[in-house]
Each structure stands twice: as C-alpha cells, then as structure tokens.
C-alpha cells in the first residue's frame, strides 16, 4: 500500500505541475495577443496632410487593402512646384471614406486628410502605417 500511495502522490504532483505550466503558458499567450491587438489599434501619432489625391487603388492577393497617394507639393529652389508624394492606407470596410477620397481624386480638388499613425500593423491591414480616418475639402 505504501508504494501505491507514493505512486498516486507522484502522479498528483506531476499533474499539478503540468496544470500550472499550462495555465501559465495560456496567460502569457493571452497577454501577448492582447498587447498585439492593442498595438495595432492604438495611434502613435495623428495629424493632417493637405494636397491633391493622385492615386487610390486596391492591392493584395488575398486581403485587399486600399492604398493611396497624396501629392502634398512643395516649392522648389527656383520657385517651381516639386512633387512630394505621401502614401496612406484606407481601412477596409470604410466605404464612405473611400468614396469621398475617390471623388476628391476625380475632381482634382485639394483635400485635407486626417490620419493616425499606428504603433504596429499586420501585412493584411495595409502597406503603410498611416491610416486615413477623415477627409475634408479645402478651398
């Protein structure tokens, strides 16, 4: 009986160790997922860029993202305009924002794009770290 008691005790302590190990690894994995998710949703910085939208396209083999270019423009040394392109991403699912940017591109009017720069992004979220959240027409 003493041998069986020791064997049962060893089994219970081993099962207790693996149970604690599993719970610990699960907690670490859940924390990692939470930190990664928050990092992709939180803005590192935000601001506005003004210019003329020169490109808006859907890219990607499996996950289609909308990528665009804004011609910010700048003065050259001799006073002529120099092309200065700023690349941005429009989040998937925001059809109204996409349509507003597309309308601004077809009319050729200057717009102000409000953007958020994210801490981190996954490749299926877009090519740039600048995500446009709002578009305003400028005069």
Distance in angstroms (rounded) separating the CA atoms of residues 88 and 131: 6
- Predicted confidence at residue 72, as pLDDT, reads 86
Q: How far is CA 55 from CA 14, 71, 107, in A?
A: 62, 9, 12
Task: Look at residue 7 and give its three-state secondary structure.
Answer: helix
Do the Cβ atoms of 113 and 68 come closer than 8 Å? no
- Predicted confidence (pLDDT) at residue 70 exceeds the cutoff of 80: yes
Q: Could you tell me where the beta strands, DSSP code E, fall in the chain? A: 43-59, 65-71, 74-75, 81-82, 85-90, 110-118, 130-137
Q: Strands 130-137, 85-90: parallel, antiparallel or unpaired by DSSP?
A: parallel
Which of 139, 113, 119 is CA-nearest to residue 53? 113
Per-residue pLDDT, 127 = 77
Does the pLDDT of residue 52 top 80, yes or no? yes
Task: Identify whether the C-beta of residue 59 lies closer than 8 Å to the C-beta of residue 65.
Answer: yes
Mean pLDDT of 78-97: 79
């Amino acid at each position: 009986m003493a041998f069986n008691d020791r064997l049962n005790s060893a089994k219970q302590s081993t099962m207790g160790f693996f149970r604690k190990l599993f719970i610990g690894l699960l907690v670490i994995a859940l924390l990692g997922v939470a930190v990664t998710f928050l990092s992709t949703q939180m803005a590192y910085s935000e601001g506005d860029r003004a210019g003329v939208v020169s490109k808006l396209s859907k890219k990607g083999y499996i996950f289609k993202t909308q990528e665009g270019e804004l011609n910010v423009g700048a003065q050259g040394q001799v006073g002529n305009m120099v092309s200065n392109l700023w690349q941005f991403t429009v989040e998937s699912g925001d059809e109204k924002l996409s349509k507003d940017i597309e309308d601004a591109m077809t009319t050729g009017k200057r717009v102000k794009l409000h953007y958020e720069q994210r801490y981190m992004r996954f490749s299926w979220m877009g090519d740039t770290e600048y995500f446009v959240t709002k578009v305003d027409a400028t005069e």
